Amino acid sequence: MLFDYDLFVIGGGSGGVRAARVAASETGVRVGLAEEDRYGGTCVIRGCVPKKLMVYASDVAHFLPEAEGYGWTFAEAKFDWTVFHQKLTQELDRLEAVYRGLLERAGVHTFDARAKILEAHTVELSTGQCITAETILIAVGGTPTLPKIIGIEHAITSNEMFNFKLLPVSILIVGGGYIASEFAGIMNGLGVKTTQYYRGDQILRGFDNEARDLVAGDMVKRGIDLRCGLNLEKIEKTPKGLLVTDTKGKTQVFDAVMYATGRSANTKNLIDPSVGVSLGAKGEIVVDEYSQATVPSIYALGDVTDRVNLTPVAIHEAMAFIATVFRGEPTAVDHTLIPTAIFTQPEMGAIGLSEEKARLQGPIEVYVANFQAMRQFFAGSDDKSLLKLVVCANSRKVLGCHIVVPHAGEMIQLLGIAIKMGATKEDFDRTMAVHPTIAEELVTMREPTRKT
């Protein structure tokens, strides 16, 4: 059978664009791509990129007092959201144009339309056009989910956090994951009175307890009203703002309420049930180690598969897909030991097992440096830094690393290489320190803080 395309990609985010571009430019196959919204997807348009720019903007609020500790003086500092938002909008427009340009130069035929899979090799666009392809790749990502409570229509999600015309005076952020905690720091740094509710005992569930406790403590010191063990019952719109009732029966008024309590795969009305693609309990597409769905001609990658929902993972999966399908090199993606940065304030980086999870696997040694860094100490700040190595007592391999320091994301990226290669504690010990730096503590911790 002669198909319209060798590969048809549904979704113009980071993973879909990478797969389409590389397939067209490096393997010479005929590629089409459909995107119903903006090119660049969640990460570029309403996620990682704009969020990190907001982190940079909000960080200035912490840098100014530190600068004064070094002898600098300033006139009254004032943040203008209008100026920032205009520049942010321009930057996102520029990045979307970059993504479109990459596809065009690679020879990918793009369709600004929603796509639905009708058969194993057939896609129908919202324009009414039907397209056939030998292979279909789904890369439509995920979307925030909202609970079913009274007044939830008055709440917003992370998607809308970049669209304020004017910043609210006060905001309630519901959730304890990295998205909620990052936005709590951002809003607080931009001068918004910020409250965060989380139903669990401590935010950043799943990360190392010692690291998450330090992050939460510093968030509170910086002015965030963090309330754990608490959730929302209902939201009412009043002339004074949004009146929320919490699970303890107390009420409070906020200008805005943002929910960051989970995301789900964008598979609603995406695939006709007759096609036979298996979905998981949360609507995610079930795939094997090669990202192949239960229908052989259909593959999926990124957040829509709900494996590890990070942009670099989707891009890595895209490259493995190209190798598997178009280069004859079956390549499974290794989803272990993925370095992660959480752009809270303070920033956190992690790779591997937490102390709690490592302890369940056998005897471990834990090395901890918890101190005030030179820069913050001199400026009069009481911010603490944490660097932590979790080591297998038998093999001596470093099983996990957890850091809460300025620019933790930059540091954990490089540490990820060593730990992915199987570095031992002795490998760290043999490495010369760079002095004076925060990171030197990683190679100067000789005696374990505790053994279990």
Among the listed residues 206, 181, 211, the one whose alpha carbon sits nearest the alpha carbon of residue 402: 211
The whole-angstrom separation of Cα 97 and Cα 87 is 15
Q: Determine contact, residues 349/408, Cβ cutoff 8 Å.
A: yes
Backbone angles phi, psi at 101, to 5 degrees: -65, -40
User: Is there a catalytic annotation at residue 85?
Assistant: no
Phi and psi torsions of 235, nearest 5°: -130, 130
Could you give the CA distance from residue 78 to residue 385 in angstroms, rounded to a whole number?
29
Cβ–Cβ under 8 Å, residues 277 and 284:
no
9's tokens: 């990609």
How far is residue 160 from each of residues 144, 164, 306, measured CA to CA in Å? 11, 7, 22
User: Strands, E, within 11-129: which ranges?
Assistant: 31-34, 109-111, 115-119, 122-125
**Nearest alpha-carbon partner for 279 in 264, 290, 289:** 264
Distance in angstroms (rounded) separating the CA atoms of residues 54 and 220: 19
Q: Find out whether 265 and 283 touch, Cβ atoms under 8 Å.
A: yes
Closest CA to 140 of 336, 2, 271, 243: 271
Q: What is the spatial distance between Cα 450 and Cα 368, in angstroms, rounded to a whole number?
A: 9
Question: Which residue out of 85, 121, 335, 435 is catalytically annotated?
Answer: 435
Cα–chain center distance at 109: 29
Sign (positive/negative) of CA torsion 230, 174, 179, 336? positive
User: In degrees to the nearest 10, what's the CA dihedral of 290, 293, 295, 299?
Assistant: -70
**Cβ density class 343-375: b for 16+ within 10 Å, e for less:** bbbbbbbbbbbbbeebeeeeebbbbbbeeebeb
**Residues recognised as catalytic:** 435
